């Protein structure tokens, strides 16, 4: 396929594809799927070898959120039956993190529901970061606390945080259909604040919310222009009790095409398979490791994930290896923030990825049957007396 040969060549040179090319990846047929995976896999292996980075989520504060994000089980007024608790103490959070680190995780992601942290919340999380760092040599810590106010990113960096996560989630054009209580611009501003403070910017998307192919391409190109170091790709978990509970739009094949498109647009960036991989990729999860170089280990914020032991077995069986704390995730040219002039500048963004595109019709597929049996609310780990899944 000429398209795939072109995309591999561009990926190896860190040259952005055009939007037309990205749309064409999403429009490939199931018959072409293995060719797409093989092509994107060449780019993934060139920059990241066969390493898989493991990340572990600790939900510091569950539920109780005033925001109205339609996809979220913790949203204002949601009746989802999730765990609800206020802030974990630093020692409790460190104990929860230790379980994931013992399972092979290299990065701990500290997440708290809410619009954004107060200064007192930043102090609390800073104490937690220091505790985790003191007790676990070589661990990376990423904070995810919502919208940041001026100076808060710098304080988190001073406490030892390595990264800050704040996802764009969907395209700017459709963001208002998903959330009303804050804007797309608010999210962009927080990612920029984190970047300016010297934190590694982590920002991604959620697919499966009824978006078009163009929406997916738009948000991934926006993430590339923001120069995020890691891009988590979430697949919607349609929780009962949320406005998107009936959105079952993804197939395993569709998920693989989305991951391949992200890899081609972000060839040298950490692409992480995040929430919903077990739900939507199902038995094709090992194929996704040929596209992404990072996954979450064990459970998610409010839902259960695959058993940590099964994650490790899957990685080994697929011929990959777990990245260790003495290995650096990003290629050398991206370390210390940014990818340089080749792929991060305004000029390259405009010339390589800003061309006028035509909407490529997606391949027709049957709407998948809703697998509500696979959505399991987390009842163990952080905020409970039960052992975590790691």
Residue 353 marked ligand-binding? no
Can you tell me the mean pLDDT for 23-34?
A: 98
**Domain locations in the chain as residue ranges:** 13-327+335-354
Q: Which of 14, 44, 107, 109 is catalytic?
A: 109
Q: Which of 14, 124, 272, 334 is catalytic?
A: 272
Is the domain spanning 13-327+335-354 CATH 3.20.20.70? The answer is yes
- 123-153 as b/e, with b when 16 or more CB fall inside 10 Å? ebbbebbbbbbeebeebbbbbbbbbbeeebb
CA–CA separation, 130 and 151 (whole Å): 18
Q: What is the pLDDT of residue 336?
A: 66
Residue 142 marked ligand-binding? yes
Q: Which of 14, 72, 107, 124 is catalytic?
A: 72
Q: What is the pLDDT of residue 97?
A: 95
The yes-or-no answer on residue 263 being catalytic is no
Residue 69 marked ligand-binding? yes
CA 346 vs CA 12, 138, 225, 332, 364: distances in Å: 20, 35, 8, 22, 36
Can you tell me the mean pLDDT for 143-164?
A: 98
Contact 106/315 with Cβ under 8 angstroms?
no
Contact 169/207 with Cβ under 8 angstroms?
no
CA–CA separation, 221 and 237 (whole Å): 24
Q: What is the pLDDT of residue 389?
A: 82
- Which helix (DSSP H) or strand (DSSP E) does residue 102 occupy? helix 90-102
Does 174 have pLDDT greater than 50?
Answer: yes
Can you tell me the mean pLDDT for 5-18?
A: 98
CA–CA separation, 88 and 77 (whole Å): 22
Residue 202 marked ligand-binding? yes
Does 341 have pLDDT greater than 60?
Answer: no
Comparing C-alpha atoms, which of 63, 100, 125, 82 is closest to residue 387?
100
The yes-or-no answer on residue 335 being catalytic is no
Does 25 have pLDDT greater than 60?
Answer: yes
Q: What is the pLDDT of residue 368?
A: 63
pLDDT above 70: percentage of residues in the chain: 90
Residue 255 marked ligand-binding? no
User: Is the pLDDT higher at 345 or at 39?
Assistant: 39
Q: Which of 144, 202, 255, 353 is catalytic?
A: 202
Q: Which of 14, 44, 65, 255 is catalytic?
A: 65
Can you tell me the mean pLDDT for 24-29?
A: 98
CA–CA separation, 158 and 168 (whole Å): 25
3-state secondary structure of 365: coil
Comparing C-alpha atoms, which of 51, 49, 43, 46 is closest to residue 17?
43
> Ranked by mean pLDDT, which of 325-329, 351-355, 372-376 comes out on top?
325-329
pLDDT tens digits for 94-122? 999 999 999 999 999 999 999 999 999 99
- Phi, psi at residue 230, to the nearest 5°? -135, 140
pLDDT tens digits for 370-390? 777 678 888 888 888 888 888
Residue 144 marked ligand-binding? no
Q: Which of 14, 44, 69, 277 is catalytic?
A: 69
pLDDT tens digits for 205-238? 999 999 999 999 999 999 999 999 999 999 999 9
User: Which stretches does DSSP call E strand in the chain?
Assistant: 51-61, 107-112, 140-144, 163-165, 200-202, 205-207, 230-235, 270-273, 294-296, 321-322
The yes-or-no answer on residue 353 being catalytic is no
Q: What is the pLDDT of residue 35?
A: 98
pLDDT tens digits for 38-88? 999 999 999 999 999 999 999 999 998 999 999 999 998 888 988 899 999
Can you tell me the mean pLDDT for 135-152?
A: 96
pLDDT tens digits for 252-296? 999 999 999 999 999 999 999 999 999 999 999 999 999 999 999
Tokens of 337: 């923030």
Tokens of 247: 């959105």
Residue 272 marked ligand-binding? yes
- Phi, psi at residue 135, to the nearest 5°? -95, -10
The yes-or-no answer on residue 266 being catalytic is no
Q: What is the pLDDT of residue 350?
A: 34
The yes-or-no answer on residue 144 being catalytic is no
- Phi, psi at residue 128, to the nearest 5°? -65, -45
pLDDT tens digits for 178-207? 999 999 999 999 999 999 999 999 999 999
The average confidence (pLDDT) of the chain is 90
CA-atom Rg of the chain in angstroms: 19
pLDDT above 90: percentage of residues in the chain: 82
Beta-carbon contacts of residue 143 (< 8 Å; ≥ 6 apart): 109, 110, 125, 129, 156, 161, 163, 164, 165
């Amino acid at each position: 396929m000429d398209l795939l040969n072109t995309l591999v060549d561009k990926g190896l040179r860190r040259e952005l594809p055009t939007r037309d090319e990205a749309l064409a990846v999403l429009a490939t047929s199931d018959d072409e799927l293995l060719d797409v995976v093989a092509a994107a896999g060449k780019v993934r292996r060139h920059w990241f070898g066969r390493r898989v980075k493991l990340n572990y989520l600790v939900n510091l504060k569950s539920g109780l959120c005033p925001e109205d994000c339609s996809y979220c089980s913790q949203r204002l007024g949601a009746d989802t039956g999730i765990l609800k608790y206020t802030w974990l103490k630093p020692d409790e959070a460190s104990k929860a993190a230790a379980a994931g680190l013992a399972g092979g995780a290299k990065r701990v992601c500290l997440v708290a529901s809410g619009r954004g942290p107060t200064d007192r919340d930043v102090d609390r999380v800073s104490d937690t970061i220091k505790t985790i760092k003191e007790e676990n040599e070589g661990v990376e810590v990423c904070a995810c606390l919502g919208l940041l106010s001026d100076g808060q990113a710098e304080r988190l960096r001073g406490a030892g945080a390595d990264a800050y996560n704040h996802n764009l989630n969907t395209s700017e054009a459709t963001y208002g259909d998903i959330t009303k209580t804050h804007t797309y611009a608010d999210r962009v501003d927080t990612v920029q604040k984190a970047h300016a403070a010297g934190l590694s910017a982590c920002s991604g998307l959620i697919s499966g919310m009824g978006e078009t192919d163009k929406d997916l391409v738009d948000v991934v190109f926006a993430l590339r222009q923001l120069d995020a170091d890691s891009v988590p790709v979430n697949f919607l978990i349609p929780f009962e009790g949320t406005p998107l509970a009936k959105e079952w739009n993804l197939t395993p094949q569709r998920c693989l095409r989305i991951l391949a498109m992200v890899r081609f647009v972000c060839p040298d960036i950490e692409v992480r398979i995040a929430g919903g991989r077990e739900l939507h990729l199902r038995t094709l999860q090992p194929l996704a490791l040929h596209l992404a170089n990072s996954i979450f280990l064990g459970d998610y914020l409010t839902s259960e994930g695959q058993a940590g032991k099964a994650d490790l077995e899957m990685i080994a069986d697929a011929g990959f290896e777990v990245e260790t704390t003495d290995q650096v995730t990003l290629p050398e040219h991206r370390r210390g923030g940014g990818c340089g002039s080749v792929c991060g500048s305004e000029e390259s963004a405009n010339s390589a990825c800003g061309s006028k595109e035509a909407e490529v019709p997606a391949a027709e597929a049957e709407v998948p049957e809703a697998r509500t049996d696979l959505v399991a609310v987390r009842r163990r780990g952080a905020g409970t007396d039960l052992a975590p899944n790691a």
